[in-house]
């Protein structure tokens, strides 16, 4: 049997990782400024993570959600503390799309409505509701195209207020820093206006923090720069440092009932251990602060370098977009094959940096020196 061929692949076989470095099967070392698509938060193969995972695997890898799992309770408590959301409730699932799927479902259970507002260029996942709120017709199959969603320009508060005021909007879903959309940031004025409008019309405000969250922006959540509190916050990617898991932070205004949500694998023992190890390391190594400091340093250096082809550098912390005046493809290929640096991308012209949050200043400098060579 062959693989279903949906991914355009780099001809590189990565077999080993450590911190912000990975190695291929020929022993070539790479600087990883992609983090496996924003997934590696505390660095590849962190010793504390390996120790906790190995220890848990030797005890119990999985048991179902029909019995007490104290690791879930511990994780909810730790996450509540580190994020400043102690009064919220936590539901565990396995992927980002699933987190958004459950967020939209909860919103609809809450106010009985079915209409959703989402941003132009938004990406929220590939399953039924998650893909429907994703603004990319190429990946919305006819079966997912159910007319629930109105897409509006990010930061055009008036347009969003006008729709919310119709009184039939179930939820609005926003990435406060758009990832796939090209590192576009929601403004404070916009998000505060949305929060007010949602409160007035009983619309649920969902922040998708799957890519911009969990410390990447230099605050625990990107929306914390904007002084708002969403009703629902979806998290995934970096939360398990590569172990597939996701979560939904749920405001106290939602009252759970038995059977309302559910999952077989979500919040299993190994997944919770991965997430607890991530929080341990984030706290011990001050990774949120590091993401802010190194990210700002990197952006400042990139701006000051006045590099050819670079028309804009934007982002927050270690979520950085470098907009080029030409397609990124050749530059990104040269970065991988000549300079041995992985980067992400979005659209046709934006390089996207999503490194592990433990990136050092020396590694940031190394990228800038090698990027200059590629652009020269």
Ligand X SMILES: Cc1ncc(COP(=O)(O)O)c(C=O)c1O
Give the footprint of ligand X on this chain (CB under 6 A): 95-97, 100, 123-125, 175, 179-180, 208, 210-211, 236
At closest approach, how far in Å is the CB of 362 from ligand X? 28
Closer Cβ to ligand X, 172 or 307, answer by number: 172
- Report, in Å, the least distance between residue 41 CB and ligand X: 14
The label of the residue with tokens 């799309």 reads 97
Q: Which is nearer to ligand X, 79 or 239 (CB)?
A: 239
Contacts of 244 (CB under 8 A, 6+ apart): 94, 95, 271
Least Cβ distance, residue 325 to ligand X (angstroms): 25
Strands 169-174 and 184-185: unpaired
CA angle centred on 156, ends 153 and 157, rounded to 5°: 130
CA 83, CA 213: separation in Å to the nearest integer? 10
Residue 125 CB, shortest distance to ligand X, in Å, is 4
- The smaller minimum CB distance to ligand X, of residues 197 and 246, is found at 246
Which CB sits closer to ligand X, 90 or 123?
123
Q: How far is the CB of 178 from ligand X (least distance, A)?
A: 8
Residue of this chain nearest to ligand X (CB atom): 96
For residues 299 and 225, give the distance between their C-alpha atoms in angstroms, rounded to a whole number. Answer: 18
Task: Give the residue with the Cβ less far from ligand X, 177 or 228.
Answer: 177
β-bridge partners, 118: 151, 173
Residues in a beta bridge with 18:
21
DSSP track, 291-319: HHHHHHHHHHHHHHTT-TTEEEEEEETTE
Please state, in angstroms and rounded to a whole number, the distance separating the CA atoms of residues 91 and 173: 18
Who contacts 78 (Cβ-Cβ below 8 Å, separation ≥6)? 276, 279
Helices (H), the chain: 35-38, 47-59, 70-83, 96-111, 128-132, 157-164, 188-201, 269-284, 287-304, 329-337, 361-375
Q: How far is the CB of 345 from ligand X (least distance, A)?
A: 13
Taking the least distance from each CB to ligand X, the nearer of 52 and 210 is 210
| Shortest distance (Å) from residue 127 CB to ligand X | 7
Between CA 137 and CA 14 the distance in angstroms is: 32
- For the bound state, the minimum distance from the C-beta of residue 359 to ligand X, rounded and expressed in Å, comes to 19
**Closer of 49 and 123 to ligand X (Cβ):** 123
Strand-pair category, 232-235 with 204-208: parallel
CB nearer to ligand X: pick between 46 and 121: 121
């Amino acid at each position: 049997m062959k693989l279903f061929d949906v991914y355009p692949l780099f001809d590189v076989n990565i077999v080993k990782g450590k911190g912000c470095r990975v190695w291929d099967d020929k022993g070539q070392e790479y600087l990883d400024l992609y983090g496996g698509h924003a997934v590696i938060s505390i660095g590849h193969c962190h010793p504390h993570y390996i120790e906790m995972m190995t220890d848990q695997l030797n005890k119990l890898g999985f048991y179902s959600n029909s019995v007490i799992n104290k690791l879930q309770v511990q994780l909810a408590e730790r996450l509540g503390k580190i994020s400043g959301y102690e009064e919220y409730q936590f539901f565990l699932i396995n992927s980002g799309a699933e987190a958004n799927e459950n967020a939209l479902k909860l919103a609809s259970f809450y106010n009985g409505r079915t209409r959703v507002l989402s941003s132009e260029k938004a990406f929220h996942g590939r399953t039924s509701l998650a893909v429907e709120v994703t603004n990319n017709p190429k990946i919305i199959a006819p079966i997912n195209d159910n007319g629930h969603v109105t897409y509006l320009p990010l930061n055009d508060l008036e347009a969003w207020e006008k729709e919310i005021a119709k009184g039939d909007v179930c939820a609005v879903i926003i990435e406060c820093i758009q990832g796939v959309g090209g590192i576009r940031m929601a403004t404070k004025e916009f998000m505060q206006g949305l929060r007010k409008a949602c409160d007035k019309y009983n619309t649920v405000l969902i922040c998708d923090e799957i890519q911009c969250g969990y410390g990447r922006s230099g605050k625990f959540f990107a929306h914390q720069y904007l002084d708002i509190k969403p009703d629902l916050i979806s998290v995934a990617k970096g939360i398990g440092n590569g172990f597939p898991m996701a979560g939904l932070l749920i405001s106290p205004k939602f009252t759970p009932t038995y059977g309302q949500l559910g999952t077989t694998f979500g919040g299993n023992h190994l997944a919770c251990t991965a997430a607890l190890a991530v929080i341990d390391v984030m706290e011990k190594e001050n990774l949120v602060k590091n993401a802010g400091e190194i990210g700002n340093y990197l952006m400042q250096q990139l701006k000051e370098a006045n590099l050819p082809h670079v028309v804009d550098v934007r982002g927050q912390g270690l979520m950085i977009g470098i907009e080029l005046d030409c397609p990124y493809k050749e530059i990104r290929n040269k970065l991988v094959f000549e300079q041995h640096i992985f980067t992400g991308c979005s659209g046709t012209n934006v390089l996207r940096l999503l490194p592990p949050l433990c990136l050092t200043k020396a590694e940031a400098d190394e990228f800038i020196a090698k990027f200059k060579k590629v652009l020269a």
